[in-house]
């Protein structure tokens, strides 16, 4: 092998290594476990649903998930787009392994759970419900971990921040 050929061989090997490492990193993020976060009902200030997004996303991160907020309000009337959208995402994306429902989203999490088949339920390993009185652990039979919190003394909208603060200042290494 001449010098020119070996130089090209080295460049080819280096390029393949860079591409391989990039693909591996992409695969790792694509396989990260996701906590699907359901917002509450809309208000004039929050037409896409009430939720302290930052606290909910940070909570998901600290407990080892990549948080994704479903960008649609909960609607307790007959025209509830949140439930079918969440079901479609759960069925399409096997990376979704946790649910977080705030207020109306907590009531919808119960409806969603009732519609899931056994393999889909088995995949959801954590359910978090905030500010949804009347929702009980029994509504999520089979889930290995169910956390239900009522409104904190600071009020209904403070629920996500209160839950996050309850974790303390620890962080989860290696997660978004």
Q: Calculate mean pLDDT across residues 140-160.
A: 96
pLDDT tens profile 92-118: 999 999 999 999 999 999 999 999 999
Asked whether 143 and 126 are in contact (CB, 8 A), the reply is: yes
What is the tens place of the pLDDT at every residue in 46-99?
A: 999 999 999 999 999 999 999 999 999 998 776 789 999 999 999 999 999 999
As a whole number, the mean pLDDT across the chain is: 85
CA distance 146 to 141: 9
Strands 34-38 and 126-130: unpaired
Query: Which residues have CB under 8 Å from 127's CB, separation 6+?
Result: 98, 99, 100, 101, 109, 113, 140, 143, 145, 146, 147
- For residues 83, 88, 94 and 98, what is the CA-based torsion angle, rounded to 10 degrees? -10
Structure tokens at 169: 């200042």
Which residue carries 């393999």 as its tokens? 119
């Amino acid at each position: 092998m001449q010098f020119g050929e070996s130089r090209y061989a080295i460049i080819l090997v280096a390029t393949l290594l860079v591409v391989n490492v990039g693909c591996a990193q992409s695969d790792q993020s694509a396989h990260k476990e996701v906590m699907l976060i359901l917002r509450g009902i809309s208000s004039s200030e929050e037409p896409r649903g009430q939720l302290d997004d930052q606290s909910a996303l940070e909570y998901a991160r600290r407990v080892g998930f990549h948080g994704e907020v479903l960008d649609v309000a909960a609607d307790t009337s007959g025209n509830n787009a949140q439930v079918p959208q969440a079901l479609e995402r759960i069925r399409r994306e096997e990376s979704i392994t946790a649910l977080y429902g705030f207020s109306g989203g907590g009531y919808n999490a119960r409806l969603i759970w009732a519609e899931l088949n056994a393999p889909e339920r088995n995949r959801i390993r954590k359910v978090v419900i905030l500010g949804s009185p009347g929702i009980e652990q029994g509504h999520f039979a089979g889930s290995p971990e169910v956390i239900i919190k009522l409104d904190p003394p600071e009020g209904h909208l403070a629920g996500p921040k209160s839950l996050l603060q309850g974790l303390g200042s620890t962080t989860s290494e290696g997660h978004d």
